[in-house]
């Protein structure tokens, strides 16, 4: 099983953190207590700039959940197509080569789903298998790779693609000045990524080196469903973001990583590339400390956080793209891609550089 390529796509509207904060201060001008905390909350998330699905001034306009979701349907198709075409081109493949398409998002909904709409836009084959996935949040990028790997393991002559599109800004709630929502207005951004995963026999036939997927592991933490997610109501998606997230990341992730690596005859010191989801500075620092890593070890995640913010399921794929662009640390060197998200849960993908 090979990760043949990764490609990303970002909206055309890029703003630095101060510009976004100033617009929010105008929107919340009648709430001085909220405005008083906004600057420090935005500075603490360590995000320099973000890309937004709409021009910044559009976020001051009231809109219904349906109107916001219509924007999601439109922009997700545009960015999803751009990312997927880029990934296929990098892999030397065409849309007709796709046997299965996995689509993950937690920031909008559609029926027909995003994968079906991309199948129409890109003229995928009529027998393409579609697997839309909703609800995984920040863990969705890693889980999507793992599930696509499961697919090509069963069908080694086939090609699976993963498309992740997250337009977090479209869920901005003007009436919510809770700390969790104000943090989210400084942390989350918009973007898309696509990954091409090729079965073993097909990869040999095509001469694709890529990253070899060695194994995957899913870990579910029981009775943690209130830690992260959405509260869904008539006005749309309200963020649920507990301060327990960094605690869980620090205390629970390392034992699960160690158990997974041990099953493959490895330990942490063997991993040469750490590709982590940049959930935010507290979460990323907790992952770093819990695994006894350095900031250099998790540099790909810090870069994505600084330049794009947290893009939910898309972020870890952005970090993977950063790792690939930096280049291989050596043939056969092990790498670990990991993310955590709603439920609460984690997904681990062990790979080797080729």
pLDDT tens track for 8-49: 999 999 999 999 999 999 999 888 777 788 889 999 999 999
Q: What is the pLDDT of the chain when averaged over all its residues? A: 95
pLDDT at 180: 87
pLDDT tens track for 232-284: 888 888 888 788 889 999 999 999 999 999 999 999 999 999 999 999 999 99
Domains and CATH numbers, the chain: 2-206 (3.40.47.10), 211-353 (3.40.47.10)
Q: Rounded CA gap, 21 and 26, in Å?
A: 9
Q: Rounded CA gap, 168 and 145, in Å?
A: 21
Q: Give the C-alpha distances (Å, rounded to integers) separating 172 from 21, 62, 188, 238, 307.
A: 13, 10, 10, 8, 20
Q: Which of 138, 168, 276, 345 is catalytic?
A: 138
Residue 202, Cβ density class (10 Å: 0-12 exposed, 13-18 middle, ≥19 buried) = buried
DSSP 247: H
Is the CB of residue 188 less than 8 Å from the CB of residue 182? no
Q: Are strands 129-134 and 2-9 parallel, antiparallel or unpaired?
A: unpaired
Report the pLDDT averaged over residues 93-104.
98
Confidence of residue 229 (pLDDT cuts 50, 70, 90): confident
pLDDT at 68: 95
Its pTM stands at: 0.95
138 is catalytic: yes
Q: Rounded CA gap, 143 and 239, in Å?
A: 21
Tokens of 336: 């670990």
Packing angle of the helix pair 315-326, 140-154 (nearest 10 deg): 70
């Amino acid at each position: 099983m090979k990760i043949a390529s990764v490609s990303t796509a970002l909206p055309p509207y890029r703003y630095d953190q101060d510009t976004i904060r100033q617009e929010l201060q105008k929107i919340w001008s009648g709430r001085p207590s909220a405005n008083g905390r906004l600057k420090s909350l935005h500075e603490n998330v360590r995000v320099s700039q973000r890309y937004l699905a709409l021009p910044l001034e559009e976020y001051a306009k009231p809109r219904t959940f349906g109107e916001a979701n219509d924007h999601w349907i439109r922009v997700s198709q545009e960015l999803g197509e751009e990312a997927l075409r880029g990934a296929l081109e990098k892999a030397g493949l065409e849309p007709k080569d796709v046997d299965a398409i996995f689509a993950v998002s937690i920031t909008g909904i559609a029926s027909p789903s995003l994968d079906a709409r991309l199948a129409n836009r890109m003229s995928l084959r009529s027998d393409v298998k579609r697997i839309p996935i909703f609800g995984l949040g920040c863990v969705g990028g890693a889980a999507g790779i793992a599930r696509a790997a499961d697919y090509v393991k069963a069908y080694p002559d086939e090609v699976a693609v993963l498309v992740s599109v997250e337009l977090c800004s479209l869920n901005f709630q003007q009436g919510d000045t809770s700390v969790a929502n104000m943090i989210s207005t400084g942390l989350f951004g918009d973007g898309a990524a696509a990954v091409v995963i090729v079965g073993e026999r097909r990869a040999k036939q095509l001469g694709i080196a890529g990253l070899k997927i060695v194994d995957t592991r899913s870990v579910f933490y029981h009775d943690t469903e209130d830690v992260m997610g959405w509260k869904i109501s008539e006005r749309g998606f309200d963020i649920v973001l507990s301060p327990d997230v960094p605690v869980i990341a620090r205390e629970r992730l390392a034992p699960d990583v160690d158990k997974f690596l041990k099953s493959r005859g490895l330990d942490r010191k063997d991993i040469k590339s750490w590709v982590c989801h940049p959930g935010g500075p507290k979460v990323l620092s907790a992952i770093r400390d819990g695994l006894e890593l350095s900031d250099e070890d998790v540099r790909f995640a810090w870069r994505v956080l600084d330049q794009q913010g947290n893009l939910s399921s898309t972020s870890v794929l952005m970090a993977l793209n950063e790792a690939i662009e930096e280049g291989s640390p050596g043939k056969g060197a092990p790498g670990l891609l990991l993310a955590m998200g709603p439920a609460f849960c984690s997904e681990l993908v062990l790979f080797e550089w080729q």
